[in-house]
Chain A
């Protein structure tokens, strides 16, 4: 039987999505439901003096109004930070309380203060208009670079500083810098982004007064984790009385990891008002309250020899956490950032110092890549600048500093199990026709255009797991993943996974894996996810972990099925277990060539007996049924890597940057479905190009979000991109039996520096910040023209 792993299998999920049969949270309606509208702070920082709900309560159709006072009285817990980070001085991070409805103080525009439930959406909106909140407006802290000098916004958090974290050895770095021929320096801003999953957040809650069970349908990347958090920290209901369903979810990109205020409030309130509740965010609410991404201010330095060897690296970063620390908010700028900031290079000494600050802006958390795009941007800008200043070819300087032996003990934390960085860059150069660039540059020049080429080599640590490793670094939970493989008596198979697909295609790829392991057609396999009532526990999908952790749990559960099948087959065929071979879905007795299909074994496991004879196919010590589960906790992260090359052409008259060519060569280890992996890379690159050229989240000095709709926030469109040219190299991961590495974030990690290096190359080395909008680039073109004129 040909292996399905490695094949371009069309997706099982597409039939329903293409016919409008997807079932997203906003598509769900429950009889007798009420509609929720949240009253949100219009101020970035304000004391809440009073909340008057009397007029709203009398408004037509209003069923109830609840505020921070009631939720505090009911002792419903707030939102949490998932990772505890320690400062360099050994002190624990400072985390303010984050109640689901603000009672005393509002800390960002959009923070919910009260909620109105009504019979119709229009009535809920009208009721919400009648809630009167008396604010005392305070001066907002908005700019992360100024946060430490500003008034503290949270009690007990001096200088607005959550932590001042260090990874690495300052003394060793000083010694390395003392030996350098040259110090390359950059000052960077990693622009703040809004993840912008196309499906706005939503929740529908149903409280069953008989069973006292709450069912929460929600737009989550990790329903089991949401249930745990809402139960253990929120105290909304015991876990066994709380069912969380994340049905079809329209993209996440990190923004749907967190349990949000609205889910906690509606779940709690549904029990209180004894009515189902529906809440669907409008796009502007999503802009205001979804967790944002990036937002770093960085100064970094690279110590180099004149031959271009890297000696030392230092990185001083201020990371904006926004108003509150959320699930991955504190780890994103530390352990997901610092270790990767030395990139794919042998650098003997390094440190990363990160000061995470609170500001009166929306909370910042994981966004596709989470920390690793910021890290890669830092090192790859430095490397490109070093090449330029030393007069060494930009690919050559990278080659000179790549490790060539694996496992590679990277400077700060990771031991990278496998890779071939030289092969990746060589392949990218060839695919991009790197050698032919100068001719293309001249051609552009002849047309009055500026052409630039940029390179970026990256590695990243993903497949976020090893529980013991992540918990030692402060993670509040273990990051294993679970699977259950359930053979039905008639041969169909349900595979339950704790991972969650919101675009990642698990129904297809996980079925491919299980089909290969069990030797059955993938049509017989259904992958079930997203419902805490179906399947065991699970940690969910983020950090490119679904396949490398969740997929392996499926493999292991399948192996247990086969192992049990062998024992049963041996008994049925009356041979020893070691005389049975399993191949292509059949258990074969090697000597006699008698066989049982896996379907026959499953049937026998459920109907373990026969007419006229007391005889069971189940061996002693085994039980009837054919269901196996696995909890997989890998020994290491997975480390995809690669090199991307971009060419841009700038029109100096308009400042418009056109991405002319984009080549990506990635090593994701063994690939389960090339079609799906390519799709992941395309999407990641597009988001990264969005960051480099188009997207920016802009607050004004009072903390008002200026880019709170698609009229103001530039989402990349189809005509912003060329056709991306993808290639792959392959070194198998050694930390999992499939040899797979994560692929979901790589595109967004590698592409911002690739594009910016190309833009800066076209601009003759002039530094320019992301996004390189036409206005900024046009100004830079003017400066370039002046300096060229002077030189002439």
Chain B
């Protein structure tokens, strides 16, 4: 067992967990933050993307113990004071989601893109999202959402 202390969505949390506990499992099972999804187990689908110290990572292939002391933001922590983040607003406006399963990871990944690059081109958006699989939307409205959000962030 290992003691893992993190700041998750602005709150400090500390839990004793098995050494091999993945961050995705820590968030879902230990903190009941089920917005982070697990879709593939091989770090391909990106449904599990969260931010660790501001950068997007795949929580299904990160050990919770490895990031001890870090700041984590999950999809649950993106909206502030009841107001959706501009990326969340954009996904809603452009119909960038259907079943919603890939959405948390897609949104978290897209937020990091705009932190990294202010006004990405369509091709840059599509290439950035290479690590996030969506089966419903054909990506078109996701790309539109990221473009829309890029004018507001």
B47 within 8 A of A: yes
Do A686 and B99 contact each other (CB < 8 Å), given the known contacts A20-B75, A20-B104, A283-B40?
Answer: no
Interface residues of B in 82-112 (CB under 8 A from A): 84, 88, 91-93, 95, 97-104, 107
Which chain B residues lie closer than 8 Å to A15 at the CB level? 84, 92
CA of A723 to CA of B99, assembled, Å: 21
Which chain A residues lie closer than 8 Å to B44 at the CB level? 709-711, 715
Which chain A residues lie closer than 8 Å to B53 at the CB level? none
A-B contact pairs, 30 of them (CB 8 A): A10-B95, A19-B35, A19-B75, A20-B34, A20-B76, A20-B104, A22-B35, A197-B99, A198-B37, A248-B100, A250-B99, A251-B99, A282-B41, A283-B40, A503-B98, A503-B136, A504-B98, A675-B95, A682-B139, A683-B136, A683-B138, A709-B40, A717-B130, A718-B127, A718-B132, A718-B134, A718-B142, A719-B126, A721-B140, A724-B140
CA of A250 to CA of B36, assembled, Å: 13
B141 within 8 A of A: yes
B93 contacts A19, C-beta separation under 8 Å: no
Q: Which residue of A13, A253, A284 is within 8 Å of B135 (Cβ)? A: A253
Interface residues of A in 692-738 (CB under 8 A from B): 709-711, 715, 717-719, 721, 723-724
CA of A683 to CA of B140, assembled, Å: 9
Which chain A residues lie closer than 8 Å to B36 at the CB level? 20
A197 contacts B79, C-beta separation under 8 Å: no
Which chain B residues lie closer than 8 Å to A385 at the CB level? none
Which chain B residues lie closer than 8 Å to A578 at the CB level? none
A679 contacts B130, C-beta separation under 8 Å: no
Which chain B residues lie closer than 8 Å to A250 at the CB level? 37, 39, 99-102
Do A682 and B35 contact each other (CB < 8 Å), given the known contacts A251-B101, A717-B133?
Answer: no
Q: Which residue of B39, B76, B97, B130 is within 8 Å of A283 (Cβ)? A: B39
B41 contacts A283, C-beta separation under 8 Å: yes
CA of A11 to CA of B88, assembled, Å: 13
Return the CB mask of A102-125 against B: 1 if under 8 Å, else 0: 000000000000000000001000
How distant is B132 from chain A, measured CB to nearest CB, in Å?
A: 8
A685 within 8 A of B: yes
Do A723 and B34 contact each other (CB < 8 Å), given the known contacts A19-B79, A709-B40?
Answer: no
Return the CB mask of A270-290 against B: 1 if under 8 Å, else 0: 000000000000111000000
Q: Which residue of B74, B79, B122, B137 is within 8 Å of A723 (Cβ)? A: B122
B84 contacts A19, C-beta separation under 8 Å: yes
Return the chain B residue nearest A27 by Cβ. B34
Which chain A residues lie closer than 8 Å to B102 at the CB level? 198, 250
B151 within 8 A of A: no
A770 within 8 A of B: no
* The 3 A-B residue pairs with the shortest CB-CB distance in the complex, in nearest-first order: A20-B35, A250-B101, A17-B100
B41 contacts A13, C-beta separation under 8 Å: no
B123 contacts A503, C-beta separation under 8 Å: no
Which chain B residues lie closer than 8 Å to A197 at the CB level? 99, 101, 135
A710 contacts B133, C-beta separation under 8 Å: yes
CA of A10 to CA of B133, assembled, Å: 23
A18 contacts B138, C-beta separation under 8 Å: no
Do A718 and B129 contact each other (CB < 8 Å), given the known contacts A19-B78, A22-B100, A198-B101?
Answer: yes
Do A710 and B42 contact each other (CB < 8 Å), given the known contacts A20-B34, A724-B140?
Answer: yes
B99 contacts A503, C-beta separation under 8 Å: yes
Q: Which residue of B28, B99, B103, B139 is within 8 Å of A18 (Cβ)? A: B103
B33 within 8 A of A: yes
A546 within 8 A of B: no
Q: Which residue of B33, B35, B39, B139 is within 8 Å of A686 (Cβ)? A: B139
Which chain B residues lie closer than 8 Å to A715 at the CB level? 44-45, 133, 135
Return the CB mask of A307-337 against B: 1 if under 8 Å, else 0: 0000000000000000000000000000000
Which chain A residues lie closer than 8 Å to B38 at the CB level? 26, 200
Return the CB mask of B45-69 against A: 1 if under 8 Å, else 0: 1010000000000000000000000
B23 within 8 A of A: no
Return the chain B residue nearest A251 by Cβ. B99
Which chain A residues lie closer than 8 Å to B140 at the CB level? 682, 721, 723-724
A676 within 8 A of B: yes
B72 within 8 A of A: no
A505 contacts B98, C-beta separation under 8 Å: yes
A14 within 8 A of B: yes
Return the chain A residue nearest B34 by Cβ. A27
A19 contacts B99, C-beta separation under 8 Å: no
Which chain B residues lie closer than 8 Å to A686 at the CB level? 137-139
Which chain B residues lie closer than 8 Å to A22 at the CB level? 35, 100-101
A21 within 8 A of B: yes
A20 contacts B98, C-beta separation under 8 Å: no
How distant is A667 from chain B, measured CB to nearest CB, in Å?
A: 20
A709 contacts B91, C-beta separation under 8 Å: no
Which chain B residues lie closer than 8 Å to A678 at the CB level? 95, 141
